[in-house]
Amino acid sequence: MDIKIAIVNSSSLGRIFPEHLNRLKALGEVDRFDFPADMKGKELAEELLGYSIIITSATPMYDKAFFEYKDKTLLIARHGIGYNNIDVKAAAEKGVCVTRVPSYVEREAVAESTVALLMDVIRKIRSASIKVKEGEWTERARFVGYEVKGKTVGIIGFGNIGSRVGQIIKNGFNARLIAYDLNLSPEDIKKGGAEPVSLEKLLKMADIISLNASVTAQSYHMLTDKEFSLMKKGVILIDTARGELINPDSLIKALDDGIIGELAMDAVEGEPIDKDHPLLSYDNVLITPHIGAYTYESLYGMGEKVVKDAEKVIRGEIPDEVVNAR
Residues 159 and 270 in one domain: yes
* Percentage of the chain modeled with pLDDT above 90: 98
* Amino acid identity for residue 261 in this structure: G
Is residue 93 one of the residues assigned to a domain?
Answer: yes
* Amino acid identity for residue 230 in this structure: L
Residues 310 and 186 in one domain: no
CB-based contacts of 276, cutoff 8 Å, min separation 6: none
Is residue 50 one of the residues assigned to a domain?
Answer: yes
Say yes or no to pLDDT of 104 above 70. yes
Is residue 131 one of the residues assigned to a domain?
Answer: no
Is residue 127 one of the residues assigned to a domain?
Answer: no
- The mean predicted confidence, pLDDT, of the chain is 96
Is residue 32 one of the residues assigned to a domain?
Answer: yes
Please compute the mean of the pLDDT values over residues 192-217 and round it to a whole number. 97
Please compute the mean of the pLDDT values over residues 263-269 and round it to a whole number. 97
Residue 80 belongs to what domain range? 4-103+295-314
With bands split at pLDDT 50, 70 and 90, how would you rate the model's confidence at 1?
low
Give the count of beta carbons closer than 10 Å to the beta carbon of residue 144: 8
Count CA atoms within 13 Å of residue 305 on its CB side. Answer: 26
Cα 246 from Cα 239, distance rounded (Å): 9
Q: Say how many domains are in the chain.
A: 2
Rg (CA), the chain: 21
**Sheet with 152-156, edge to edge strand ranges:** 195-196, 176-180, 152-156, 208-211, 235-239, 260-265, 285-287
Torsion, CA 122, CA 123, CA 129, CA 135, rounded to 10: 120
Say yes or no to pLDDT of 290 above 70. yes
Is residue 322 one of the residues assigned to a domain?
Answer: no
Residues 227 and 275 in one domain: yes
Query: Which residues are tagged catalytic?
Result: 242, 271, 290
Q: What is the pTM of this model?
A: 0.90
Query: Which pLDDT tens digit goes with each residue over 305-324?
Result: 999 999 999 999 999 999 99
Is residue 161 one of the residues assigned to a domain?
Answer: yes
Residues 259 and 309 in one domain: no
Is residue 310 one of the residues assigned to a domain?
Answer: yes
Residues 177 and 254 in one domain: yes
Q: Find out whether the peptide bond into 272 is cis, omega within 30 degrees of 0.
A: yes
CA distances from 10 to 77, 179, 281, 313 (A): 12, 32, 28, 21
Cα 202 from Cα 186, distance rounded (Å): 14
Please compute the mean of the pLDDT values over residues 145-151 and round it to a whole number. 97
- List alpha helices for 150-234, DSSP H: 160-173, 186-191, 199-205, 225-230
Give the count of beta carbons closer than 10 Å to the beta carbon of residue 198: 10
Torsion, CA 286, CA 289, CA 295, CA 296, rounded to 10: -150
Query: 7: which strand partners?
Result: 32, 55
Cα 55 from Cα 162, distance rounded (Å): 26
208 close to 151: Cβ distance less than 8 angstroms? yes
Please compute the mean of the pLDDT values over residues 88-92 and round it to a whole number. 96
Please compute the mean of the pLDDT values over residues 172-183 and round it to a whole number. 97
Q: What is the pLDDT of residue 325?
A: 73
* Amino acid identity for residue 135 in this structure: G
Cα 154 from Cα 120, distance rounded (Å): 18
Looking at residue 140, what DSSP letter applies? Answer: G
Residues 162 and 206 in one domain: yes
Please compute the mean of the pLDDT values over residues 56-80 and round it to a whole number. 96
Residue 220 sits in a domain of what CATH number? 3.40.50.720
Q: What is the pLDDT of residue 326?
A: 62
Residues 188 and 246 in one domain: yes
